[in-house]
């Protein structure tokens, strides 16, 4: 999912030539339509990638669409940790970083976990959020530790 805001245009221009498909939307604009597009496994046969905090944050929060998408598609949620030895930090609300040339970069992947489709039973979102936060914290610590081992 790529934001419909102007910063999303930049992301779209970068990833489209690389062969990535995307849906435009966010929690604040067009998210429901984009979520429905992503449920269609023919459109996104390789799965989907989301930054779970959405365009408004706060950083490291998890937008509810993540759980809905995982349950409806029966695809797993995989926590991804990222770190780099040298980076530029943007002055954005989420303090995003981008690696500088010749930096060492570590990307670590957590164990996939699935969310069962509910049969009319309300999903305990706070328990799922806690589980995902723990998975993100664990995998980020692994990425950070791997970078330290390189040094």
Query: pLDDT tens, 63-92?
Result: 777 888 888 888 889 999 999 999 999 887
Among 49, 67, 88, the domain boundary falls at 49
Report how far residue 34's alpha carbon sits from residue 37's, in angstroms, rounded to the nearest whole number.
5
Question: Coil, strand, or helix at residue 126?
Answer: helix
Residue 121: pLDDT over 60: no
pTM over 0.85: no
* Span 13-43, pLDDT tens digits: 988 999 888 888 876 777 778 888 888 767 7
Number of domains in the chain: 2
Residue pair 151/111 in contact (Cβ under 8 Å)? The answer is no
Are both 93 and 128 inside the same structural domain? yes
Q: Which domain holds residue 12?
A: 1-49
Residues 5 and 40 occupy one common structural domain: yes
The tokens describing 45, both together, are 């046969």
CA dist 44 and 69 (Å) reads: 12
Strand, coil or helix: what is 72? Answer: helix
């Amino acid at each position: 999912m790529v934001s419909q805001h102007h910063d999303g245009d930049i992301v779209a221009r970068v990833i489209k030539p690389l062969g990535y498909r995307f849906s435009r939307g966010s929690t604040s604009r067009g998210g429901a339509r984009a979520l429905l597009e992503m449920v269609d496994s023919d459109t996104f046969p390789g799965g989907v990638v989301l930054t779970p905090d959405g365009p408004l944050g706060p950083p490291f929060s998890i937008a509810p669409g993540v759980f809905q998408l995982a349950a409806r598609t029966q695809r797993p949620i995989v926590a991804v940790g990222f770190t780099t030895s040298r980076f530029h930090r943007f002055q954005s609300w989420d303090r995003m970083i981008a690696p500088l040339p010749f930096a060492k970069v570590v990307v670590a992947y957590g164990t996939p976990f699935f969310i069962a489709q509910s049969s009319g039973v309300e999903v305990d979102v706070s328990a799922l959020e806690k589980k995902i936060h723990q998975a993100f914290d664990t995998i980020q610590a692994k990425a950070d530790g791997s970078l330290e081992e390189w040094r």
